[in-house]
Chain A
């Protein structure tokens, strides 16, 4: 469930962000409490609290005193925007580097991408939405 490579609080925060981006967690929806998270995943409550605090600092979650934590209404848009701004660096650049490493000319990569756009696959509906 959690891997060894990074602190659990980061993995929890990543998972919640991913749920917000995918829409699994909607705006103004309540997330599990620190205690529920801790007992459910069998982790120290301070670890869960740290993840939540980070997400509050980032504006992904907000607190309602005495009630709990909720997803910020604009969280999804903001996270998507962040991911868009990093997309080329995080996804495209490594792909280009890998293509170069195995000797695929960039022109072939571009051609492949163009073919994909001419025959859009069903997974690309997100594009149409915007």
Chain B
């Protein structure tokens, strides 16, 4: 049981709006996956379908080959934490933090109360405060506490750090890494804080308009983009035939952002042509890949 998630030809539609559009995706068990996408790209709809919170319009989601929707013992293994702990607040505005914890303890088969205590202390969350009175950051911290302490074999965090300050977010990353090292499980995190959190992902999935743009090894992606700057003609000659994400021109100088591995030979060739090669931060790569003009399915898996 590795709890591999398999999304097959999934479509989620609300009236005329297609949120997820015939998506095929495999999230390998026991890894931390990052789900990136712009607002409205279908992230939450996809995650809701994975967690069986929402019925697919068509297609299906399987965990280790078993459909999640209306399969209670599969669903029991999934914990879905939505942004800023929304679920928690809507369900129990008048209950206290401690009630949310004791409820989770009864419904979560792998619940770890000691871990929950440690997290509450780390996030400085008061147990006796009513959930409706928590600040946004505190609600997020409660959501994260419930998610991590559930030790669910499949744990999904959808923008769960909203309103949390940087030290609390870093604490979340540290606690997640430490806990997953001891208790391996499948984690899916959707985020906008790409630079900050990308290092803790093993795999990255980028979706746009409900479709897959790219899936691949997160660390390999770091070296995948390059900027090429120099005399415009030389830049154009160098990037011809490559996957060009963006070109800019300033007088005689050209700059292009390319996607794909550059070999040692490519780099030498660029240098000989007087071109400068620079790195592309992951955040920029994400922006380029999700800009309207480039919607090609790419497989960024290590070659």
Contact = CB atoms under 8 A, between A and B. Distances in A.
Interface residues of B, number: 23
Interface in B187-234: 199-202, 218-220, 222-223
A4 B202 contact: no
Nearest to B221: A7
A31 interface: no
B293 to A, nearest CB: 23
B219 A3 contact: no
Contact of B279 (A5, A41, A47): A5
B32 to A, nearest CB: 6
A46 B31 contact: yes
B177 A50 contact: no
B280 A4 contact: yes
A88 to B, nearest CB: 16
A39 B177 contact: yes
Given A2-B199, A9-B219, A44-B202, A39 B279 contact: no
The B interface is mostly helix, strand or loop, or mixed, namely helix
A78 to B, nearest CB: 21
Nearest to B196: A42
B181 interface: yes
A44 B181 contact: no
Contacts of B223: 5-7, 10
A4 B199 contact: no
A44 B218 contact: yes
Given A2-B199, A5-B223, A8-B199, A42 B280 contact: no
What size tier do the contact residues of chain A reach? 20 to 34
B254 interface: no
Given A7-B219, A7-B223, A43 B199 contact: yes
Contacts of A6: 222-223, 279
Interface of B: 31-32, 170, 173-174, 177-178, 180-181, 199-202, 218-220, 222-223, 278-282
30 contacts: A3-B279, A4-B222, A4-B281, A4-B282, A6-B222, A6-B223, A6-B279, A7-B222, A7-B223, A8-B219, A9-B219, A10-B223, A35-B178, A35-B181, A38-B177, A38-B181, A39-B174, A41-B199, A42-B170, A44-B177, A44-B199, A44-B200, A44-B202, A44-B218, A44-B219, A45-B181, A46-B202, A47-B199, A47-B218, A50-B219
